[in-house]
Every structure is written in structure tokens, then in C-alpha cells.
Structure 1
Amino acid sequence: MRRVRSATVPLHRHSIPQILVDGVLVALSYWLAFWLRFDNGISPPYEELLRDTLPWVVGGSLVVFVVSRMYGKWWRYAGQRDLLVVVRSVVLVTLALVAAVAVLHPVTRPTTEGDVSVGLPSSVIALFMLIAIALMCGVRLLARMLHERPRGFRARADARTVLIVGAGDGGRLVLREILRNRDLGLNPVGFVDDDPTKRRIRVEGVPVLGNTQEEFPRVLDEVEPDEVIIAIPSAPGTLRGRVVGACRRRGIPIRTLPTVFELLQGGGSTYVRQVRDVQVEDVLGREPVRFEIDRVGRYLDGEVVLVTGAGGSIGAELCRQIARVAPRKLILLDHAEDNLFRIQRELEDDRHVHPSTLAAVLADCKEEERMREVFGEHHPTIVFHAAAYKHVGLMELNPVEAVRNNALATRVMARVGGDLGVRTFVLVSTDKAVTPATVMGASKALAEWAVEEAGARYPGTSFATVRFGNVLGSSGSVVPIFRAQIAKGGPVTITDPAMTRYFMTIPEAVQLVIRSGSLAKGGEVFVLEMGDPVSIMQLARDMIELSGLRPEEDIAIEVVGRRPGEKVHEDLFNPYERPQATPAEKIQIAEREPLAPEVVHAMFAEIGLLVLEGDAAGLARKVTELSALRSGSHVDAAAVSVDPRA
């Protein structure tokens, strides 16, 4: 059942005093409008008009204000939207007042030509509207100013001096909370901000001392803060990296506000209490992707959405974001009990998610009969297939299972979805499927072809693939490995000092996957723009420094040599693919010539037989043939490696 916003007017126990104050202000505004209009005193007919109309002007105004939902919050938290509601409501009251006086004629006066009604002068109408807006907005702003005013702030003797990066909205909120909460033990000594219009000004008494570029090292040396807080939730990685580098060289601890994604998912705690340590995701140097999930995910509203691999890193984030756009039902499917239980409990505890919209299904995508049962019971209209094995080294040791789970299971899901009338089917793929050189990459390339074949076979379903690079924090990422190695005291091991990889955060990748689903028309391979590739060596050094240690001194970095089939650089497009733009930012289409469905069908029949027989060597040869078939060139069987221990 979908959640419906309550139609009741929000009131709380503090609404009555607010209503009484507004009633007094409306009455005062109406009286002042007449008093200012008539310099020599209000003439008797208009004095009678004022006296007779004042009660229902006040009463009618309060009714309009309540219906306009003006009393749902404390005035101390009034913002721009609340003031706009006040303006709109007063204008509505003014128009109603004019109409009522014109229709009802509350006051008449006798003349030689008969009784003549007394109307409201236009100047009284204009004055009433302006005075009411000024008084009612003013009282709300006054309440907010009194609430936010530092009440004789004096830092504790043991307070830590803090330099705030960013004098915008985030920085101001941090400053206000520090000034209001002496128990935080912080003493703000200044801001740094790159906006030239803020240079040398004071923000609520705290000076802006410079920018984050050439002036930042000087500011750190002069102020010598005990701590630096980055108060820009949308700050790019280049700025964060620059600030972190300067602070680390001086041994100054640095923390940051959560990113926009974390703030949206976080609770109601204050900004300062949400400040966390800087993580590697913050300093990658790439511009963050910003989408409004309510807007880009609107096509999921009221749908039955199935997410496979729901307990994995990508699948779980898909579930979190999809749950926030109010699908009619969200089906969480995973074959790992612990992971499924974890994401189910997390979503059930989320105040934005109604438990009745969730269905947790413990099942394996490889089992076609079981999948048909699930589809038949829940009737999903949109499927995000995120279930996959991701660990390259582990898949080299288990090539048969890699192909079974990543390729054959995808074909099963696509076939079942097409047979049972799913409207949209989205496969989550990887850049390792491009010119695959490992079993994991080859299995994901096969998965892409399975979806392509299904698109030709089932025109009623929009099949699409979304391909992207490494995702920070996912189970297949190098970042958790580096963190564990640093925690143990090192060494941090890399396979090649020249190696680079594309990186993106999990929330960014998932938002782009959801956006791609709205673009799917049938058969597309969407490729996410990952920014510039990141040096793995530099990533290792950054992670060591973010842990407060020194590379090569506190933590050693060892080069252990590349694993079989491991590439130095990854690509997002195959040589036979042509990048094409889409209407969405950061999303491209890999345009390519389609393979004949019967060819793919025949090849999958052979692969299925090899998997059934457990023939790892034969499987490697067959996968190589598929690569050559797509590219139109001969590829040596060694191009796809299989670990000899398999």
C-alpha cells in the first residue's frame, strides 16, 4: 500500500499562541491602514466600516492561515518558504476582503439620491496588505534571530580551536551550532572560502581569513588551529584533497561534514555532531554526480521493483534509494541469508519506508523454476539484476562457478522476465567486461550478451545494461583490502605501480543506474562516465595518510606483481563500440552492431554444457571464441586466463 500524505492541517501545542499573535497583527495592520489613510482622523462612515469589518477580517484571515499550513512548526525555524507562504496567504486574504466588501456592502450612508454603500479605498487595501506582510514576516524573523543569537558565547578553557572551510550555508550552520552549544568544546577562530566576495568579511563575528588555494597554508601557519572542519557537503574531491594535504603536512586533524548523499540518508542530529573523519572517497578529485532521486526515480513510483543481490553493496544501495521513491512493492532477493536479513532490517527501521511495501525473498537466481515462482507470486514490473560474483582472484580459482553465477544466471533472469512480461530489465555490469582478460570479466561480458539476446527475443520488455568501473566500498573494491592491510600495520600491496582504475562512490553509481533505467528503450548498453582514472599507487598513499600515518615510513608499500589476466588500465568501451551521448548527465550509450540472437543462443548452449561438465579449460577456450566473435578478430586462448589451480 502506498503512503499517502495526510490531508489534515498540521498544528501543535504551540500553534495557539502563534494564531493569537497573528490575529493581533492582522487587527493592527487593518487599523493602521485606515489611520495612515486619513491624516485628520477616520471619517464616520469609514470608522463604521472599520468597526463592522474588523472581526470577520481577523477571523477570515486566521482561517486562511490555518488552511495554508502556516502553523506546522516553531517560528524559530522559519525559512524562506515559510515567509513565501505568509506573503501568499496575506495576498489571498486581501483579495477576499475586497470581494466581501464589494458584495456584502457592510456600511451604507444616506444621500439625496438614496443610500450609497461605503467601499474600501484602494490605498487602505494596499496599506493593509503591505503592513500585514511586514509585521507577520518580521515577527517570524525576530523569533529566528533571537533563537540563533549567540547568548554570550565564551569558549571553555579547554576548548579546541577550529578553522572552518566554507563560509556558505554549511559553514554558517556549523558556526551557529558551535556558538549555541558550549559543551561541544570548540572555539571557532575563522573561515576559509574561495568566494572572492567573502574575502575579509565577518560571518556572525568570525572572520574569513583567506581561500583554500594559495592562502590556505599561510592561514594554517598563522592560526595554528587544533582542528579543521570541511563544511561544504558538495565539495569536489580536488578541494578536499588540497585541504587534507595541507593539514596532514602540519599534523592538524581534519574532519568533514557528510556528503549530500549521507545527509539525505542520515537522521536528525545536528550538523556538528554528524562531522566525521575524512575518507578516501572524499579526496578522489572527481566532481560528484548530483541527482534528485525523487525526480530521476519517479518512474518507479507505484511499481513492483525486484532487486537481485539485494544484500550486496550495490544491491543494498539500490534498495535504499528505490525505497525512498515509494514503489508499490520492493522485492529484496538474495541467496545469502545474513546479507538479506541485514538489508531487510535496515529498511524496516527506516522511517521513510513502510514495512508493508517490502518483501524479502531468499532464493538463487541460477534456479529457473524458483525464479518463475518468485515472478509468479510478486509480478515485478521492473527488475534490477545486481547479483554477481565480483572478486577477480577468487573467480580465477573458480571459473566454472563464475560463469554459472554471472552469465547463466543472468540469462535465466532475462528469460523469466521476458516470459512473464517485465516492463524494464536492467543488468548491472562492469568495466571488466570490456575486452575481458579474466574469468570474471568474461562472465560479465557473457551476461551483457545474454541481455542483448533477450532484448531481441522479447520486444515487450526494455532490456538494458549499465556498465561502470570500480565502486568504492563495494565487496570487489581494492579499498577494503587496503584498509585491512593498514589496520594490521602493513604492508599495503599493489600489483603494478603504473596501474590505474576508475572509481565512483556507491550512492553515485546507484543513482546513475536508476537514471539509466528511465532511459531504457531496449537493447542499450549504458556506460557511466567515471571521470579520470585514479593511480592505485596514489590511492594507497592517500589512504595511509588519511589514517594519520606516513607512506614508506609507518606503512610499507610493496609491489607484488600482476595477477594472471590483470590489466594495467581498464577501459569503459570495447574497440568495436562507439560512445554516444544521452539526455542524462554522466551517462553514455555504447553503440555497437548487435549479434544474431541464434548465434548467442547456440554459444550459450555450449557454455551451459561445459559448466555442467565442470570443464574449466574448455570454458576458457569457448569464452575466447565469443570475444573473437564479437570483435571480428582472432584472439589467442591465453587472452582469458584460468588459474592453473582451478
Structure 2
Amino acid sequence: MQASKLVDPATWPRSVKKAIVFAVDVTLVPLSLFIAYALRLNTIEPHTYGQVSLLYFALVSAAGVPIIRLLRLNRLKLHAFDMHAIGRIALSSAALILAAVLISYVADLWAPRSVPFIFGVVFFTMAVFARLVGLLLFDLMHRLTGRSRTPVAIYGAGAAGLQLATALRQSREMRPVAFVDDNPALHGIIVGGTRVFSPDKLEELAASGRIERVLIAIPSLTAGQRETLKRRLDTLPCLVQTIPSYIDLIAGRNWVDDLKAISPDQLLDRANVDLDIPEVAKAYAGRCVMVTGAGGSIGSELCRQLVDCDPRRIVLFERSELALYEIERTLLPLAKEKGIEIATCLGSVIDRPTVDAVIERDDVDIIVHAAAYKHVPLIEGNELEGVRNNVIGTRIVAEAARLAGIERFILVSTDKAVRPTNVMGATKRLAEIVAHDAQRNSSGTRFAMVRFGNVLGSSGSVVPLFHEQIRRGGPVTVTHPEVTRYFMTIPEAARLVLLAGAYSEGDDLFVLDMGAPVKIVELARRMIKLANMTVRDADNPGGDIEIVFCGLRPGEKLYEELLIDDDSLIQTPHEKILRACEAGLSEIEVAAMLKQVGEALDKRDTHAVRKILQRYVTGYGTVSSTATG
């Protein structure tokens, strides 16, 4: 292995390579002058001609050394041998001609007038030829030492393809052996020293081993056209890759990643609800506010908006170390400007001693309970932890708030809690029932609940998923063509929570009027359009991104609802915020439910957990068209 490294010029130091090229160029100077005399005097032994001076040879050769060094001929890379390099050699040849003429006149040494010019032409020709031979030897030694480059075909014989071929000729890994292009007029011609083939020849080229890879270099293709071409070429017995052009790379663009950012506001089929109300700041000014789940999508936005309400202190309660670090790092500069204290607590809502200790230590006035497991498919397969965190966690924080005489407790809930068909929604409904029960036993603390629709841009929502699928060139996956959801933005959701705390009179449920529900497939179409692409379907087979229906997931509903009982709605000071008072379980039923949940968790009995959800949550476990789709 060491021997092969000595032979392979790719492993030689750059200084060694420059010294070899310099020695070759210096040697070519007297050799070119000798050939010039031989051509002029018409003899292969010009040194026998009496007037030929060895001193002239010596002086011209000596002059060639500084000329070659000053013009840096030895720094021209073999693999980058182009018109610039040829121009540098031509300039060196001109300088040698001038030196030969001056030496002849100044030193009064005889030389026919045409010899210096013949000398320059010969040097130019031999210097170019020497570099071409060197390049061939380089490739040959590459192969002899087992470092042969991968033969590739470049799909696209345009400017981008030519750029790529030029770059590959300078690389150690690949060598272009063929161009492929859809234009019949180019088939069979030579472009940049490489033949252009029809795409029909790719199978033959790959099967015979003449190519081992196909590189697509057509930057004008749309994402959909590129994906269609790649799928067609994936049947070849070789690797297929898409390569960006140099212009794209220099501009910092990537064909796949170059999607403009889509604001969640652009996806709402309605105007944003103005929730900027002075009463909000008054409700939190001078208080200590504890936010559980402070590092989540909603929790972090809540914390940012709380800064504008001038609280005395914000307590960040979070179980994820990374999420807690990020929200603290974000909040500290903002809070410092306003003189607001930031306290952090790394802990879980199911840890009662920690919750009690934080409430006492920081003298908490208001708790916003945003900590929850919310991803429907994950909780469907992890029902024990879903119940433990969402139900028991809410019970622990609510009970701690009640016993500590907290001023207000706001629970962040979801529209999936209304007649739920999945475990996550059922656990959130039980969390609402727990908060309702806590209010029943409290004389001082005001308990409120806020029920969200889908929050655009939050973790696990369809917006990041669709954006990632569009970035990859599709397809965008939608569970069912008729699935609809209510949507709101993260700032709307956070503001609604803060408003709930300001408006709460105790045992309140707040919802936001979010207009008509939106079809998920229409949301997907809107995102594709905002990404400057088109949907590929039967009506538009040449489109960019395909939408594929993959079927409803376990527990997923076609339609979501905001309220169990629409008749219980009451107006609030804000026309877009509604208050409801929904009936829950009796005190005895809540106690029984919590006892049964505790026993099921202790036994890790998933079957018992689902039985409890069916018994105490209206709608859970029933079979309906909305659940089966």
C-alpha cells in the first residue's frame, strides 16, 4: 500500500509537483532554442555550424528561469488546464522571444532574426504538449494504483452540464464519459470533448459498465419534472443523482431547499383576530406567572407575550433540558430590558413535590398549564404515559394551585377533547373535567380552560410536515380528501390563553371564533401554490407536487368540533372570544375515575385505561362515520 502511494502523483506534496513542472519548463527553454536553430538552419546538428554560440544558449536558458518563475507557469494545475493557462504560456513564450532578441543584440551573439520567433513558438507548443502528456500520465498512474475514477454520464448537455463536466475532469472521484440529452439535434455530436447520447442509450451504457452513475444537470427543471425524471432513471442499474449548477451554489441556492418561507398567516382563510386588548396586560402586571411546558410551541409564545404584560416574574417550568435552555436564552434579553425576573425549573408536572416547591419558592400568583402530550398517533400507542402526563399531571398542578391559594389557573386544551375518538383527545377531556372539579372545591382560585383548534406552525402540525414534503419534491400526504380542521396561529393561541386568564370568573371554558373549518387538502394546495409550484394530478400531469391520500390514522376524525354543547355559549367583552359552561362529572365520579386511573397506571394495564376513557369520556370508543372515514 505504501508503494502505491509513492507512485500515485495525487499523494505527492504540492511543492514536489510544482518543482517537477518547473524543471520541465526550464529544460524546455534550451531544447526549444536548439530545435529553432535546427529548423532555421535545416540541420539536425546545428551545433556543428561555426557561428552558433554556446554562450547564447546559456544566456537565453538563464533568462528563462526568472521568466518562468515570475509568470508562475509551475503553478498552473494540470486538471485546470484551460484558456487562462494557455494564455499564461503564450505570455511566457512572448517574454522568451523578447529576451532572446535582446541577448542577441546586447551580447553581440549571432542568431538569425527568425530564430527567436521560432524559439517562442516551439516553446509554446512543447509546454502545452508537455502538460497534456502529464495529464494523461496522471490518469494512467491513477488507474495503475487502483484509484480509477468513477465513469459518469451527465444528463443535460447545456451550460450546467458543461460546467459540471469541466469540474469533474479536475476531480479525483469521477470522470465524464458521456452526455445525455433529450434534444435529438444534439445526439451524436461532441460537446466539450464528450459525445452526446440519446436517453434511450442509458440502459445500454449502464449495463455494459461504461457508466456507473448518472448526474442530472438541468437547473431549468421544476421540482415536479425533476422528480418525474429521477423516478424514470431509477430503473437503471446505476446510481442517479441531481446536481445543482455553479450559479445556484454561488448564490447559496438549492433546487430542493429553495422554498420561500410560508407564514402561517398566509394559510388562514380569514383575517387574523385582533386580540391586543389592554385588559390583558393589567391582569398579569406585577404578578408572578408560572408556565408549565414553557419550552413548547404554545408555552414559548406565551412566555414571549407575557413579557409585554410586565409581570414581576415569569417561572419557566419544563421537563426538556434543551427546550428550557432555548426559551430562557430567548427571554432573558427581553426580560432584562423591562426589569422582569426569569426563573427556571427543570421538572415534570407529575412530580408533586417539585411543583409545590416551585409555587412556594417563587410566590406564584398565576399558573398557565400548557404542559401536555399532544401528538395523536404517538399517544395512541403510548396511552399509559398520555394519561399519566395529561390527566394526572393536570390533577397535580391544579390541586397544588388550589391548596396554595393561587389567584388563577388556566388549562390549555384542544378541540380534540370534544367527543374524542383518540386517546390524546380523551385525556385532554379528562384534564378539563379535573380542572372543573378543582374549581368546585376551591373558594379562591379561579380555574379556566382554553380550547384550541389546530395551531399552525406548532410542532407536529401539518404545516411543518407539508413544508418538508414539498421541500423533498413531494408527494404531500393527506389522510382523507374530506378531513377538515379549525386553524389558528401560534400568536392567536397564546393571546387567547392570556385573555382567558383576564376574563375568567371561575369554571370557564373559552374558545376562539376561528371561522369555518378548512379542508386539509385545500391547505396542502395553498402551501404548494405559495411555494411557487403546481399540483400534479389528472388535470395537470406535468405539475410539480403530487397530493396522495394515505387513509385516516387510528383515532383520527374527519371533522373536529369546538363545543360539546353549543347552547351553553356566552358572549365575552371580545366578539371573537366565546365562553361556555359545559357539564362535567360529579365529584364522586371524578374521584372514582382518578382512583381507577391510578390503579391502571400502577399495573400498566392499557386495556383498563381504554375502558376508563370509554366510561368517563362522552364519545370516546363509539364507532361513527367521522371516525372511520
TM-score by length of 1: 0.54
1:608 equivalent in structure 2: 598
Q: CA deviation at 1:612?
A: 2.1
CA distance in 1 between counterparts of 2:626 and 2:589 reads 24
The equivalent of 1:458 in structure 2 is: 442
**Contact kept in structure 2, 1:303 and 1:382, CA below 8 Å:** yes
1:543 has 2:527 as partner = yes
Q: Offset of 1:533 from its aligned partner?
A: 0.6
Residues 1:596 and 2:586 aligned together: yes
Aligned residues: 363
| 2:469 alignment partner in structure 1 | 485
Where does 1:154-303 land on structure 2 (aligned, <5 Å)? 279-292=263-276, 294-303=278-287
* Alignment partners' CA distance in 2, 1:528 and 1:436: 19
State yes or no: 1:471 paired with 2:455.
yes
Q: 1:301 to 1:280 in 2, by over 3 A?
A: closer
- Of the candidates 363, 369, 391, which is equivalent to residue 375 of structure 2? 391
SS of residue in 2 equivalent to 1:513:
helix
User: Please, which of 322, 331, 353 is the counterpart of residue 306 of structure 2?
Assistant: 322
CA contact (8 A) 2:262 2:527 kept: no
Alignment-derived partner of residue 146 in structure 2: none
Kindly tell me: are residues 575 and 326 of structure 1, through their superposed partners in 2, closer, same or farther at Cα, counting changes over 3 Å? closer
Q: 1:638 to 1:569 in 2, by over 3 A?
A: closer
- Residue 394 and residue 583 in structure 1: after superposition, are their counterparts in 2 closer, same or farther (change >3 A)? same
SS of alignment partner, residue 601 of structure 1: helix
Partner Cα separation in structure 2 for residue 390 and residue 341 of structure 1: 21
Structure 1 unmatched ranges of 5 or more? 1-275
Unaligned 5+ runs, structure 2: 1-259, 537-542
Quote how far apart the aligned CAs of 1:475 are: 1.2
Q: Secondary structure at the match of 1:350?
A: helix
1:280/1:542 contact within 8 Å kept: no
In 2, the alpha carbon distance for the partners of 1:545 and 1:421 equals: 52
The two structures, once aligned, show a CA RMSD in angstroms of 2.3
- Is the 2:314–2:340 Cα contact (8 Å) retained in structure 1? no
- Tell me by how many angstroms 1:426 deviates: 0.3
What is the distance in 1 between the residues matched to 2:346 and 2:625?
Answer: 33
2:366–2:408 contact (8 Å) kept in structure 1: yes
2:614 paired with 1:624: yes
- Name the structure 2 match of 1:368: 352
Q: Does 1:501 align with 2:485?
A: yes
SS of the residue aligned with 1:489? Answer: coil
How far does the alpha carbon of each residue in 1:552-594 deviate from its partner, in whole angstroms, 9 at most, with x for none? 1211110001112211110001148622222223211222334
The whole-number CA distance in structure 1 between the counterparts of 2:527 and 2:622 is 37
Task: Quote the residue 2:563 is aligned against.
Answer: 573
Q: How far off its partner does 1:478 sit? A: 1.1
Q: Distance in 2 between matches of 1:516 and 1:502?
A: 19
Which whole-Å CA distance do the structure 2 matches of 1:639 and 1:338 have between them? 41
Higher gyration radius (CA): 2
Summarize the Cα distance change of 1:542–1:429 in structure 2 as closer, same or farther, 3 Å threshold: same
- Contact 2:335/2:342 (<8 A) preserved: no
AA aligned opposite 1:555:
I
Note if contact 2:479-2:550 (Cα within 8 Å) is conserved in structure 1.
yes
CA offset digits 1:466-506 (Å, max 9, x no partner): 10100111113111111111111111101000111010111
Aligned to 2:497: 513
Flag the 1:600–1:351 CA change in 2: closer, same or farther, 3 A. Answer: closer
Q: Which residue of 2 aligns with 1:584?
A: 574
For 1:473 and 1:310, how far apart are their aligned partners in 2? 17
Q: Using a 3 Å threshold, how does the CA distance of structure 1 residues 341 and 577 change in structure 2: closer, same or farther?
A: farther
Q: Does 1:335 align with 2:319?
A: yes
User: Could you tell me the percent identity over the aligned residues?
Assistant: 42
1:280 Cα offset (Å) = 4.5
CA contact 2:477–2:548 (8 Å) conserved in 1: yes
* Contact 1:396/1:641 (8 A) holds in 2: no
- Secondary structure of 2:421's counterpart equals coil
- The one-character-per-residue Cα deviations of 1:90-125 (angstroms, maximum 9, x if unpaired) are xxxxxxxxxxxxxxxxxxxxxxxxxxxxxxxxxxxx
What residue in structure 1 maps to residue 406 of structure 2? 422
Which of 549, 553, 561 does residue 559 from structure 1 map onto?
Answer: 549
* 2:374 alignment partner, SS class: coil
> CA, structure 1 residues 328+397, in 2 after alignment: closer, same or farther (shift >3 Å)?
same
CA distance in 1, matches of 2:440, 2:503: 18
Question: Does 2:423 correspond to 1:435?
Answer: no
Per the alignment, in what secondary structure is the counterpart of residue 368 of structure 2? strand
- Contact 1:331–1:358 (CA<8 Å) still a contact in 2? yes
d(CA) in 2 for partners of 1:306, 1:639: 40
8 Å contact 1:425–1:461 — kept in the other structure? Answer: yes
Structure 1 residues 640 and 282, CA, compared in 2 at 3 Å: closer, same or farther? closer
- Counterpart residue type for residue 531 of structure 2: S
The answer to whether the 8 Å contact 1:279/1:546 transfers is no
Distance 1:599 1:345, change over 3 A: same
**Distance change (3 Å), C-alpha of 1:636 and 1:444:** closer
Q: TM-score, structure 2 length as denominator?
A: 0.55
Judge which range, 445-454 or 292-301, deviates more. 292-301
Find 1:527's aligned residue among 507, 511, 516.
511
2:366 aligns with 382
